[in-house]
Amino acid sequence: MTAADLAISDSPDGRRILSLSGRLDATTIRRVWAEARNAIAAAIGRPVVVDASKVDYCDGAGIALIVDLIAQRKPGDVQVANLAPRFETMLAQFDVREVERDQDPPPRRRGTVEELGAITAGVARDLYDQVAFIGESTAALGYALAHPASIRWRDVWRICERVGADALPIVALISFLLGVIIAFQSAVPMRRFGAEIFVADLIGLSMLRELAPLMTAILLAGRSGAAFAAEIGTMTVNQEVDALTTMGLDPVRFLVTPRIIAALLMTPLLTLFADLIGLAGGAITLASFSIPYVTFVHEVEGIVDYSDFMAGFVKSFVFAILIAGIGCLRGLQTTAGASAVGDAATRAVVSGIVLLVAVDGIFAVIYYVLDI
Amino acid sequence: MTAEPSTGDAAAPAIIQVRDLGVGYAGVPLLEHLEFDVRRGEIFVILGGSGSGKSTLLKAMIGLLEPLSGSVLIDGEDMVTASGDARRAILRKIGVMYQSGALFGSMTLIENVRLPLEEYTDLAASEIDLIARMKLWLVGLGLFTGHLPSEISGGMQKRAAIARAMALDPMILFLDEPSAGLDPITSAELDALIVRLSRNLGVTFVVVTHELASIFAIADRVIMLDRRTKGIAAEGDPRKLRDESKDPWVHQFFNREPEPLPA
């Protein structure tokens, strides 16, 4: 079978003749297509005949070429002659004028002001959703605590294992390194003043009040918050959430409450663990600066009191609710499409971390005002 | 690609040859020693009850599943052993419509159809655009080219998936349950489209379905898979099988008869 070719001629009566020949398919017609268009454009005011008598084969791409040539002029100006009946049948399936024009163009781009308005409305809607979700979750949690038998404890223990025990190694590693790095970075300059003993104070206060609860929460937001969003998001896409609703079961009670309870149980425990491991990291580092472990412990005991410990510990409960709540909310907000679950997980992590940092700031102000 | 229109006749040469094929999962065979040919230009339907291995066989034929044994020759080239450019050359000859449509959710319908044309041809963007638009017109979606898959119905998604499978005018189109979940009118339109493409362009169709109305509307030939024997229970013209087969299971299948209740 021959490749696509085009011969251009003019008949005695002034018509431009385009003789197509060979095989017209997507891999052969590129050159022919451009030449044929140019030939029609050059024959200004003259009728054109596309002679297809030598076309051996013409698939969908070849038919597209013929359609395009017909559409170059007003109706009737370009005639197609001698197209084999089987290809003629394919051509007859299309209304040239309709196919040539894009009937479903992409929507026009919004102006800057409109775009700003849409973003603002989106943020406001998201805030509204978050507030409404907090209300729903609180009500569901209150009901669950008043009726412990209604809690799906098997789910709670399963989620506890994933949120708590499975996260232990990474929480331990990060908090240990945090203790080591802070101790080392502080001890080197402070040694010049003979003040390296006060590094123990620094580590004790910063780990217990701030770093252990915040770092643990950020780790859990990246790990468990994303997992909650992905898991519930997949259930939403698979209509499992719809199935719960149509069974008359509240998705918040079934899906959100166990996760919030599990996070409430595990986040403070992990925070305690991070406190200890962080202090251990600091103690080991300071030991290399000739500060014995006993001295380190005495120093920490002297500067850190019960209120410092509680300042960090209380925060971890609030962080737990934020992490689980935002993860579940993003999961329930999942829309359709291949990227929807990934988007839900990303949004859970981003908004989770933003909220954690914001709430941590609010706690700092409150503690300052209350002189804690 | 053939220049001849579809005949669906017995004299047409085989375009797919399945030889001693065994398919299954984790070494456990679902089907064994399969031998059949698909002729050029025919509409070939794979039938069977649930769990009989229809979709597994289809996966092996399109190279998504490594068979346990045997070979699948597509236009003379073995899909099982081919790799690299040879495999890509075989894949260029086939188009596949998956049961769920499998459209790319982040792309509009026309972008879905444009994708194979952009990757496999050197045509200009406007030319690719026109071809893609025509494919979508062909399946009745000319007014939805700019829609995302999530914005159209399941039936429309299937039609768009057929348009994408046809983008490069392949020699063979594999369709997995094309009529499932469609209303009777849309299903009949889809059947008519399949027959038209086969008769006018000589496209060979391999269709997995158990919609009886579709089978009688489109099939030139069928094979019926039987999970009990792990092989082919019957092969031939579906109308003849329905009217003449002495096999009780084939009779039961074509006449939609339930399993008899235990005494």
pLDDT, position A318 = 94
What whole-number distance in Å separates Cα of residue B128 and Cα of residue B131? 5
- Name the β-bridge partners of A18: A8, A50
Q: Which residues of A touch B137 (CB under 8 A)?
A: 93-94, 98-99
Answer whether residue A193 shows pLDDT above 50: yes
Report if residue B25 sits inside a domain.
no
Determine, for residues A60 and B145 on separate chains, whether the beta-carbon distance falls below 8 Å. no
Q: How far is CA A77 from CA A31, A47, B134, in A?
A: 23, 5, 22
Tell me the CB-side half-sphere exposure of residue A242, using CA atoms within 13 A: 7
What does the buried/exposed string (b/e) look like for B53-82 if buried means 16 or more CB atoms within 10 Å of the residue's CB?
Answer: bbbbbbbbbbbebebbebebbbbeebbbeb
Taking only the tens place, the pLDDT of each residue in B68-126 is 999 999 999 998 888 888 888 888 889 999 888 888 888 899 999 999 999 888 999 99
Is residue B223 very low, low, confident or very high in pLDDT (cuts 50, 70, 90)? very high
Number of helices (H), then strands (E), belonging to chain A: the values are 16, 4
The answer to whether the CB of A317 falls within 8 A of the CB of A255 is no
Question: Judging by DSSP bridges, how do beta strands B77-78 and B14-25 pair with one another?
Answer: unpaired
Q: How many other C-beta atoms are found inside a 10 Å radius of the C-beta of residue B106?
A: 13
Examine the predicted complex and report whether its ipTM is higher than 0.85. no
Answer whether residue B219 shows pLDDT above 80: yes
For the ranges A136-140, A246-250, A355-359, B80-84, the maximum mean pLDDT occurs at A355-359
Tell me the CB-side half-sphere exposure of residue A199, using CA atoms within 13 A: 34
Question: Judging by DSSP bridges, how do beta strands B28-39 and B14-25 pair with one another?
Answer: antiparallel
Tokens of B178: 């094309």
Amino acid at A126: D
Phi, psi (deg, nearest 5) at residue B6: -60, 140
Report if residue B134 sits inside a domain.
yes
Is residue B13 very low, low, confident or very high in pLDDT (cuts 50, 70, 90)? confident
Answer whether residue A181 shows pLDDT above 90: yes
Report if residue B112 sits inside a domain.
yes
**Percent of chain B residues past pLDDT 90, beyond the cut:** 42
pLDDT, position A272 = 96
Q: Does B147 reach chain A within 8 Å, measured CB to CB?
A: yes
Shortest CA gap A241–chain B (Å): 18
DSSP result, A302-344:
HH--HHHHHHHHHHHHHHHHHHHHHHHHHHHT--SSTTHHHHH
Domain that holds residue B203: 41-66+77-254
Determine, for residues B166 and A104 on separate chains, whether the beta-carbon distance falls below 8 Å. no
To which residue do tokens 């990934």 refer? A342
Select the residue of B3, B147, B200 nearest A90 (Cβ to Cβ): B200
pLDDT, position B10 = 61
The answer to whether the CB of A332 falls within 8 A of the CB of A241 is yes
Residues of B numbered 4-43 whose beta carbons fall under 8 angstroms of chain A's beta carbons: which are they?
5
Q: How many residues does chain B have?
A: 263
Tokens of B255: 């006449």
pLDDT, position B6 = 42
Report if residue B159 sits inside a domain.
yes
A146-155, A205-214, A332-341: the lowest-pLDDT one: A332-341
Select the residue of B5, B138, B143 nearest A86 (Cβ to Cβ): B5
- With a CB cutoff of 8 Å and minimum separation 6, the contacts of A252 are A136, A137, A140
pLDDT, position A348 = 94
Report if residue B211 sits inside a domain.
yes
Determine, for residues B169 and A30 on separate chains, whether the beta-carbon distance falls below 8 Å. no
Q: Which of B32, B37, B38 is nearest to B70 (CA)?
A: B32
Answer whether residue B261 shows pLDDT above 80: no
What does DSSP assign to residue A223? I
Residue A25: closest CA among chain B residues belongs to which residue?
Answer: B169
What whole-number distance in Å separates Cα of residue B54 and Cα of residue A252? 40
Tokens of A165: 């025990």
pLDDT, position A280 = 96
Among B134, B147, B196, the strongest candidate for a mutation testing the A interface, having the largest count of A CBs within 10 A, is B134
pLDDT, position B135 = 92
- Name the β-bridge partners of B226: B231
pLDDT, position B21 = 94
Q: Which residues of B touch A26 (CB under 8 A)?
A: 117, 120-121, 123, 131, 168-169
What whole-number distance in Å separates Cα of residue A115 and Cα of residue B160? 31
Answer whether residue B181 shows pLDDT above 80: no
Is residue A233 very low, low, confident or very high in pLDDT (cuts 50, 70, 90)? very high
Report if residue B2 sits inside a domain.
no
pLDDT, position B263 = 63
DSSP result, A294-312:
HHHHHHHHHH--HHHHHHH
Answer whether residue B4 shows pLDDT above 60: no
3-class state of residue A116 by DSSP: helix
Q: Which residues of A touch B196 (CB under 8 A)?
A: 89, 93
Determine, for residues B138 and A26 on separate chains, whether the beta-carbon distance falls below 8 Å. no
Select the residue of A30, A89, A336 nearest B122 (Cβ to Cβ): A30
Measured N-to-C along each axis, helices A198-206 and A168-191 cross at an angle, to the nearest 10 degrees, of 150
Is residue A1 very low, low, confident or very high in pLDDT (cuts 50, 70, 90)? low
What does DSSP assign to residue B151? G
Q: Which of B194, B224, B222, B191 is nearest to B44 (CA)?
A: B222
**B125 CB-contact burial (10 Å; exposed 0-12 / middle 13-18 / buried 19+):** exposed
Residue B2: closest CA among chain A residues belongs to which residue?
Answer: A57
Q: What is chain B's mean pLDDT, rounded?
A: 87
Determine, for residues B122 and A100 on separate chains, whether the beta-carbon distance falls below 8 Å. no
pLDDT, position B9 = 57
The answer to whether the CB of A68 falls within 8 A of the CB of A77 is no
Q: Which of B159, B33, B123 is nearest to A26 (CA)?
A: B123
Answer whether residue B8 shows pLDDT above 60: no
- With a CB cutoff of 8 Å and minimum separation 6, the contacts of B165 are B95, B96, B97, B173, B174, B175
Q: How many CB pairs under 8 A join A and B?
A: 103
Determine, for residues A56 and B3 on separate chains, whether the beta-carbon distance falls below 8 Å. yes
Query: For chain B, what is the domain count?
Result: 1
The answer to whether the CB of B129 falls within 8 A of the CB of B121 is no
Select the residue of A34, A57, A337 nearest B106 (Cβ to Cβ): A337
Taking only the tens place, the pLDDT of each residue in A291-313 is 999 999 999 999 999 999 999 99
To which residue do tokens 């229809």 refer? B54
* Strand ranges (E), chain A: 5-10, 16-24, 48-58, 78-81
Residue B147: closest CA among chain A residues belongs to which residue?
Answer: A104
| Domains in chain A with CATH codes | 5-100 (3.30.750.24), 115-370 (no CATH)
Report if residue B56 sits inside a domain.
yes
Among A104, A109, A236, A239, the strongest candidate for a mutation testing the B interface, having the largest count of B CBs within 10 A, is A104
Taking only the tens place, the pLDDT of each residue in B45-76 is 999 888 888 989 999 999 888 999 999 999 99
Residue B167: closest CA among chain A residues belongs to which residue?
Answer: A60
How distant is the alpha carbon of residue A279 from its chain centre? 35
Is residue B247 very low, low, confident or very high in pLDDT (cuts 50, 70, 90)? confident
3-class state of residue B6 by DSSP: coil
Residue A71: closest CA among chain B residues belongs to which residue?
Answer: B130
Report if residue B18 sits inside a domain.
no
- CATH number of residue B153's parent domain: 3.40.50.300
Q: Which residues of B touch A109 (CB under 8 A)?
A: none
Q: Does B108 reach chain A within 8 Å, measured CB to CB?
A: yes
